[in-house]
Amino acid sequence: TRVAVLISGSGTNLQALMEQVKKPSSSAEIVVVISNRPGVMGLKRASMAGIQTRVVDHKLYGSRAEFDGTIDKVLEEFGVELVCLAGFMRILTGPFVRKWSGKMLNIHPSLLPSFKGVNAQKQALQAGVRVTGCTVHFVAEEVDAGAIVVQEAVPILVTDTEDSLSERIREAEHRAFPAALELVGSGAVKLRDDGRIPPSVKL
Ligand code: GRF
Protein backbone atom coordinates (compact mmCIF):
# COMPACT_ATOMS: atom_id res chain seq x y z
CA THR A 1 0.00 0.00 0.00
CA ARG A 2 1.36 3.42 -1.07
CA VAL A 3 1.17 5.72 1.97
CA ALA A 4 1.44 9.50 2.38
CA VAL A 5 2.12 10.98 5.82
CA LEU A 6 0.96 14.56 6.46
CA ILE A 7 2.73 16.49 9.22
CA SER A 8 3.00 19.96 10.73
CA GLY A 9 5.84 19.56 13.22
CA SER A 10 8.31 17.29 14.98
CA GLY A 11 7.15 14.10 13.27
CA THR A 12 7.69 11.60 16.07
CA ASN A 13 4.62 9.73 14.83
CA LEU A 14 6.08 9.88 11.32
CA GLN A 15 9.27 8.37 12.73
CA ALA A 16 7.31 5.49 14.23
CA LEU A 17 5.49 4.89 10.93
CA MET A 18 8.78 4.94 8.97
CA GLU A 19 10.22 2.32 11.31
CA GLN A 20 7.09 0.18 10.95
CA VAL A 21 7.09 0.09 7.14
CA LYS A 22 10.74 -0.98 7.09
CA LYS A 23 9.76 -4.29 8.72
CA PRO A 24 9.66 -7.14 6.18
CA SER A 25 6.18 -8.04 7.44
CA SER A 26 4.83 -4.60 6.55
CA SER A 27 2.43 -4.21 3.64
CA ALA A 28 2.99 -0.47 3.41
CA GLU A 29 5.47 1.90 1.80
CA ILE A 30 5.67 5.64 2.63
CA VAL A 31 6.04 7.29 -0.78
CA VAL A 32 5.76 10.96 0.26
CA VAL A 33 5.70 13.18 3.36
CA ILE A 34 3.76 16.45 3.06
CA SER A 35 4.04 19.31 5.56
CA ASN A 36 1.91 22.45 5.70
CA ARG A 37 4.82 24.21 7.37
CA PRO A 38 8.35 24.59 5.94
CA GLY A 39 11.50 23.64 7.83
CA VAL A 40 9.92 21.41 10.49
CA MET A 41 11.82 18.51 12.02
CA GLY A 42 9.49 15.97 10.43
CA LEU A 43 10.74 17.00 6.97
CA LYS A 44 14.34 16.33 8.04
CA ARG A 45 13.32 12.93 9.39
CA ALA A 46 11.76 12.02 6.03
CA SER A 47 14.73 13.27 4.00
CA MET A 48 17.15 11.33 6.25
CA ALA A 49 15.11 8.23 5.46
CA GLY A 50 15.25 8.94 1.72
CA ILE A 51 11.53 9.68 1.47
CA GLN A 52 10.35 12.40 -0.92
CA THR A 53 8.91 15.49 0.78
CA ARG A 54 6.64 18.31 -0.29
CA VAL A 55 5.71 21.54 1.52
CA VAL A 56 2.23 22.89 0.86
CA ASP A 57 2.22 26.08 2.90
CA HIS A 58 -1.36 26.89 3.89
CA LYS A 59 -0.47 30.58 4.25
CA LEU A 60 0.05 30.79 0.48
CA TYR A 61 -3.53 29.78 -0.35
CA GLY A 62 -6.56 32.02 -0.45
CA SER A 63 -8.94 29.28 0.65
CA ARG A 64 -9.03 25.91 2.38
CA ALA A 65 -10.40 24.43 -0.84
CA GLU A 66 -7.35 25.57 -2.83
CA PHE A 67 -4.99 24.30 -0.14
CA ASP A 68 -6.73 20.91 -0.04
CA GLY A 69 -6.76 20.81 -3.85
CA THR A 70 -2.97 21.15 -3.93
CA ILE A 71 -2.55 18.44 -1.29
CA ASP A 72 -4.82 16.20 -3.37
CA LYS A 73 -2.74 16.84 -6.50
CA VAL A 74 0.43 15.73 -4.70
CA LEU A 75 -1.35 12.60 -3.40
CA GLU A 76 -2.46 11.72 -6.95
CA GLU A 77 1.04 12.49 -8.32
CA PHE A 78 2.46 9.85 -5.98
CA GLY A 79 -0.34 7.32 -6.52
CA VAL A 80 -1.15 7.41 -2.83
CA GLU A 81 -3.65 4.83 -1.54
CA LEU A 82 -3.67 5.66 2.19
CA VAL A 83 -3.14 8.99 3.99
CA CYS A 84 -1.87 9.19 7.60
CA LEU A 85 -2.37 12.52 9.42
CA ALA A 86 0.47 12.52 11.96
CA GLY A 87 0.29 15.70 13.94
CA PHE A 88 -1.21 17.48 10.94
CA MET A 89 -2.77 20.62 12.40
CA ARG A 90 -5.15 21.63 9.59
CA ILE A 91 -8.87 20.96 9.30
CA LEU A 92 -9.59 19.44 5.89
CA THR A 93 -12.64 20.39 3.82
CA GLY A 94 -15.66 18.14 3.28
CA PRO A 95 -14.99 17.37 -0.40
CA PHE A 96 -11.41 16.30 0.37
CA VAL A 97 -12.47 14.18 3.37
CA ARG A 98 -15.23 12.53 1.33
CA LYS A 99 -12.84 11.72 -1.53
CA TRP A 100 -10.41 10.03 0.90
CA SER A 101 -13.09 8.43 3.06
CA GLY A 102 -11.89 5.05 4.24
CA LYS A 103 -8.36 5.88 3.10
CA MET A 104 -7.32 8.52 5.65
CA LEU A 105 -6.32 7.96 9.30
CA ASN A 106 -5.71 10.47 12.10
CA ILE A 107 -4.18 10.13 15.54
CA HIS A 108 -5.69 11.96 18.51
CA PRO A 109 -4.20 12.09 22.03
CA SER A 110 -7.27 10.94 23.99
CA LEU A 111 -9.68 7.99 24.12
CA LEU A 112 -12.31 9.37 21.71
CA PRO A 113 -15.10 10.31 21.99
CA SER A 114 -13.76 11.84 25.19
CA PHE A 115 -11.78 15.07 24.93
CA LYS A 116 -12.15 16.00 21.26
CA GLY A 117 -10.35 19.04 19.89
CA VAL A 118 -7.14 20.74 20.94
CA ASN A 119 -5.34 20.28 24.28
CA ALA A 120 -6.90 16.83 24.72
CA GLN A 121 -4.18 15.94 27.25
CA LYS A 122 -4.95 19.08 29.30
CA GLN A 123 -8.70 18.36 29.09
CA ALA A 124 -8.10 14.90 30.58
CA LEU A 125 -5.97 16.30 33.41
CA GLN A 126 -8.58 18.93 34.22
CA ALA A 127 -11.41 16.37 34.08
CA GLY A 128 -9.63 14.36 36.77
CA VAL A 129 -9.86 11.06 34.87
CA ARG A 130 -7.34 8.36 35.88
CA VAL A 131 -7.10 6.80 32.44
CA THR A 132 -6.73 8.52 29.09
CA GLY A 133 -4.89 7.38 25.96
CA CYS A 134 -4.73 7.79 22.19
CA THR A 135 -7.01 6.95 19.29
CA VAL A 136 -6.32 6.20 15.63
CA HIS A 137 -9.49 6.70 13.60
CA PHE A 138 -10.69 7.11 10.04
CA VAL A 139 -11.12 10.79 9.21
CA ALA A 140 -14.77 11.80 8.85
CA GLU A 141 -16.27 15.21 8.08
CA GLU A 142 -17.04 15.76 11.77
CA VAL A 143 -13.72 16.49 13.52
CA ASP A 144 -12.36 13.69 15.76
CA ALA A 145 -15.47 11.56 15.11
CA GLY A 146 -14.55 8.91 12.52
CA ALA A 147 -14.67 5.12 13.05
CA ILE A 148 -12.04 4.01 15.56
CA VAL A 149 -9.34 1.58 14.37
CA VAL A 150 -6.94 1.34 17.36
CA GLN A 151 -6.85 2.77 20.88
CA GLU A 152 -4.30 2.42 23.67
CA ALA A 153 -5.02 3.35 27.29
CA VAL A 154 -2.54 5.44 29.29
CA PRO A 155 -2.71 5.99 33.09
CA ILE A 156 -2.70 9.51 34.51
CA LEU A 157 -0.42 9.77 37.55
CA VAL A 158 -1.03 12.18 40.43
CA THR A 159 2.37 13.68 39.68
CA ASP A 160 1.52 14.27 36.02
CA THR A 161 1.87 17.61 34.31
CA GLU A 162 0.59 18.30 30.79
CA ASP A 163 4.11 17.59 29.54
CA SER A 164 4.68 14.32 31.39
CA LEU A 165 1.25 13.04 30.36
CA SER A 166 1.74 14.14 26.73
CA GLU A 167 5.03 12.29 26.62
CA ARG A 168 3.46 9.09 27.96
CA ILE A 169 0.57 9.38 25.46
CA ARG A 170 3.02 9.94 22.60
CA GLU A 171 4.78 6.67 23.47
CA ALA A 172 1.39 4.94 23.13
CA GLU A 173 0.78 6.78 19.84
CA HIS A 174 4.02 5.36 18.47
CA ARG A 175 2.61 1.86 18.98
CA ALA A 176 -1.01 2.54 18.05
CA PHE A 177 -0.47 4.35 14.73
CA PRO A 178 1.84 1.68 13.23
CA ALA A 179 -0.62 -1.01 14.33
CA ALA A 180 -3.51 0.86 12.68
CA LEU A 181 -1.45 1.42 9.52
CA GLU A 182 -0.93 -2.33 9.16
CA LEU A 183 -4.57 -3.18 9.87
CA VAL A 184 -5.85 -0.78 7.20
CA GLY A 185 -2.90 -1.14 4.83
CA SER A 186 -3.27 -4.92 4.75
CA GLY A 187 -7.02 -4.70 4.19
CA ALA A 188 -7.81 -6.44 7.48
CA VAL A 189 -9.83 -3.40 8.56
CA LYS A 190 -12.06 -1.56 6.10
CA LEU A 191 -14.52 1.30 6.46
CA ARG A 192 -18.06 0.35 5.42
CA ASP A 193 -20.21 2.76 3.39
CA ASP A 194 -22.22 3.51 6.53
CA GLY A 195 -19.04 4.86 8.12
CA ARG A 196 -18.64 1.93 10.50
CA ILE A 197 -16.05 -0.85 10.67
CA PRO A 198 -17.74 -4.25 10.23
CA PRO A 199 -16.88 -6.90 12.86
CA SER A 200 -14.30 -9.19 11.26
CA VAL A 201 -15.84 -12.65 11.39
CA LYS A 202 -13.21 -15.21 12.37
CA LEU A 203 -13.54 -17.93 9.72
C1 GRF B 1 0.84 14.22 18.83
O2 GRF B 1 0.71 14.56 20.18
C3 GRF B 1 -0.50 13.84 18.28
O4 GRF B 1 -1.37 13.26 19.22
C5 GRF B 1 -1.07 15.15 17.86
O6 GRF B 1 0.00 15.94 17.43
C7 GRF B 1 1.20 15.42 17.99
C8 GRF B 1 2.07 15.01 16.86
O9 GRF B 1 3.34 14.89 17.30
N10 GRF B 1 -2.00 14.93 16.77
P11 GRF B 1 4.48 14.48 16.23
O12 GRF B 1 4.60 15.62 15.24
O13 GRF B 1 4.04 13.19 15.57
O14 GRF B 1 5.69 14.32 17.09
In whole angstroms, give the CA distance from residue 193 to residue 203.
23
Mutate to test the pocket of ligand 1, among 45, 105, 107, 143 (most ligand atoms within 8 A of CB): 107
> What is the tens place of the pLDDT at every residue in 94-147?
999 999 999 999 999 999 999 999 999 999 999 999 999 999 999 999 999 999
Question: Ligand 1 centroid vs 31 CA: distance in angstroms?
Answer: 20
Q: Quote the pLDDT of residue 200.
A: 76
Q: Cβ < 6 Å from ligand 1: which residues? A: 7, 9-14, 42, 86-87, 107, 109, 170, 173
Q: Quote the pLDDT of residue 93.
A: 97
Q: Quote the pLDDT of residue 189.
A: 96
Mutate to test the pocket of ligand 1, among 34, 170, 175, 177 (most ligand atoms within 8 A of CB): 170
Q: What are the φ and ψ backbone dihedral angles of 48, each rounded to 5 degrees?
A: -60, -30
Whose C-alpha lies nearest to ligand 1, atom 10?
Answer: 87
Q: Quote the pLDDT of residue 203.
A: 59
In which order are the strands placed within the sheet that holds 29-35? 53-55, 29-35, 2-7, 82-85, 104-108, 131-138, 148-155
Q: In the predicted model, is pLDDT for residue 199 greater than 90?
A: no
pTM of the full structure = 0.96
Q: In the predicted model, is pLDDT for residue 175 greater than 70?
A: yes
Q: Tell me the average pLDDT of the chain.
A: 97
Average pLDDT over residues 183-192: 96
ipTM entry: 0.90
